[in-house]
Structure 1
Amino acid sequence: MDMEIRALSEKHNVKISIVDISEGYNEIAKLQGTNPLTSVALGRTIINNALLSLSIKDGNKMTTNINGMGLGGSIIAEFQDKKFRGYIQVPNFEIEKIEEDKGSPLSQVVGKQGFLQISRDNGGTEPYTSRVEIVSGEVNLDFMYYLQQSDQVNSLISSTVEIAEDGSIKKACGIIIQMLPGFSDDDIDFIEEKVGSLDHLVKTLTGTTNYESLIKDICDDAKILGVGELKFECTCNMEKVISSVKMLGEDDIKKIIEEGEVVEVVCDFCKKQYNVKPEELAK
């Protein structure tokens, strides 16, 4: 079961959240047809977007869009009502395109010549959107830079995707540690000493499913605020498809109706195919 857990340490002025979406992300990776590198890039984006989304109200939506001009193209992750989905533009590029002297393989997939944009939609007329330049292409560091620049919150965020020998997703999980207002230098020193290196934190995270125990190891006074189920679910439907077809323009739609064409639309996220009949367009 995919899940999230949130905790608070009043003693050390810190909030800790963990998500595990291994089950749902395995399904997404199969639908997208990702290779190992795009599996990591897309997975980290979906996990980190989910971690940031745990603080939004029910019904609100958070969307991350990464466009770094990399080999994987645009990457999109959405989270709403404990449901997540994601999409990568070029899921299975030729691995031979990775060049040894151009930085890490992941940074070449994501790219460094672009932006990371996050939109928070609370049901108003316009969502609140902010963006930062991509600084590493490693996804995790880019999200941390976003939090520092946009939200101005002292945070550590890290996610990881482990891939099995058969290409399936073995583990997809992440953690975010955020300092609360009123924190002191002693609080930061305590967390840094407890967490150690990012590599150690990720290794510990992937090696367990007892996330409550992991949180208690970081802050023994931590109070669990909530544990909940997450799941992969696409939000596409015929109404949205017809709305997208309307963007073709009145003349093109009239031509489709007159010629009796059936418009085929495939969802980028779940690959479901919709057939819009001329009579549905005529309405």
Structure 2
Amino acid sequence: MTDYIVRATAAGHQVRIFAATTKEMVETARAAHNTSPVATAALGRLMTGAAMMGSMMKGEDDKLTLQIISGGPIKGITVTADGRANVKGYVAEPQVMLPPNAYGKLDVGGAVAPGILRVIKDMGLKEPYTGQIDLVSGEIAEDLTYYFAASEQVNSSVALGVLMEKNNTVKQAGGFIIQLMPYTQESVIEKLEENLKDIPSVTTMLENGETPESMLEKLCAGMDWEILDTVPTRFYCDCSKEKVEKVILSLGEKEIQDMISDGEPIEVNCHFCNKHYHFTVDELKALLIKG
């Protein structure tokens, strides 16, 4: 398994931790959407966060959507994940280019902020849960940290990173989420803060050969901890020609008849994986009969 998430607990279940490596997932998204380096970094960070958040959900078929409505040049990012940590996503402006930020890094914050982050959880209930915050920085990890505190009242620390090769493919990607239970002792919080202060960036750790397991060792240094399980994660889009047919049928008889009258085949594009579906005039006629 190339990409995976390790779920762990520490300090007698006072802390829960998720650590992930997601290089293949992010590279698959980059290749599908032909994203610029800064767009790849923004999308990759949000997908990595969504993968870990999806793995927090109780049901395998529960759905999580993270949506950034951006006033920055990227305009928007949409990512969905399920309880099996299958993730898909896209950016509104995949070719956005910006100069490096003051630290010489990809300027994700400049591409994304200002804007809002919307989190939608569909757990099979009558109505999905929706939480929304204003973006703190557009750097995504900080925004998710703030979301957990403001919308879910869970004190968390989120770190996400994407490192690019010179040829603009993905070199490393991953992240971690630490969450405190309401009863976490002050001494445990202090120890975690001390560990976090000394820890390098996620991509530096991955570049140095660290794994999610060894990242956990650094995060949990000086406290008891245990791995609960390991979950594979991947870029996965469940689109199909049958699903696209349903979308076309939902347009209504008049709209489909207009397409047929044009006498030309149509092409429908999946936003999430950029796959193209083609329908001939005869197929559209058959759909109209079926509908």
**What displacement does 1:210 show?**
3.0
Question: How many Å apart are 1:248 and its aligned residue?
Answer: 3.4
Aligned to 2:195: 194
Bigger shift: residues 213-222 or 181-190: 213-222
Matching of residues 115-130 of structure 1 within 5 Å: 115-130=116-131
1:41-190 to 2 correspondences below 5 Å: 41-56=42-57, 57-80=59-82, 81-95=84-98, 105-112=107-114, 114-190=115-191
User: Are 2:219 and 1:228 equivalent residues in the alignment?
Assistant: no
Structure 2: runs of 5 or more not aligned: none
Question: Which residue is equivalent to 1:40?
Answer: 41
Secondary structure at the aligned position of 2:56 is classed as coil
- Tell me which amino acid in the other structure corresponds to 1:75: I
Paired residues in the alignment total 278
* Aligned partners of 1:155 and 1:176 also within 8 Å: yes
SS of the aligned residue for 2:29 comes to helix
By how many angstroms is 1:230 displaced?
Answer: 1.4
Deviation at 1:223, TM superposition (A): 1.0
Contact map agreement 1:4 1:229 (CA 8 A) in 2: yes
The CA deviation at 1:24 is: 2.0
Q: Which runs of 4+ in 1 moved over 6 A?
A: none
CA separation of 1:108/1:54 partners in 2, compared to 1, >3 Å: closer, same or farther? same
Q: What is the identity percentage for the equivalent residue pairs of Structure 1 and Structure 2?
A: 30
* CA distance, structure 2, for counterparts of residue 162 and residue 125 of structure 1: 40
2-structure distance, mates of 1:99, 1:157: 21
SS of residue paired to 2:277: strand
Which has the larger displacement, 207-216 or 63-72? Answer: 207-216
The answer to whether the 8 Å contact 2:237/2:272 transfers is yes
Report the alpha carbon displacement of residue 205 of structure 1 after superposing the two structures with TM: 4.9
Matching residue of 1:31:
32
Q: Report the Cα offset of residue 242 of structure 1.
A: 2.2
Write the distance in 2 (CA, Å) between the matches of 1:70 and 1:94: 12
Code of the residue aligned with 1:180 in structure 2: it is: M
Correspondence for 2:271 among 256, 261, 268: 268
169-178 or 66-75: which moved more? 66-75
CA apart distance, 1:120: 0.8
CA distance in 1, matches of 2:201, 2:264: 57
Q: What is the alpha-carbon distance in structure 1 between the residues aligned to residue 92 and residue 199 of structure 2?
A: 29
Select 1:279's aligned residue among 255, 276, 285.
285
State the Cα deviation string for residues 16-39 of structure 1 (Å, max 9, x = none): 111111012112101111111111
Instruction: Say which is worse superposed, 115-124 or 197-206, in terms of deviation.
Output: 197-206
Q: CA deviation at 1:151?
A: 0.6
Provide the rounded CA distance (Å) in 2 between the counterparts of 1:95 and 1:217.
33
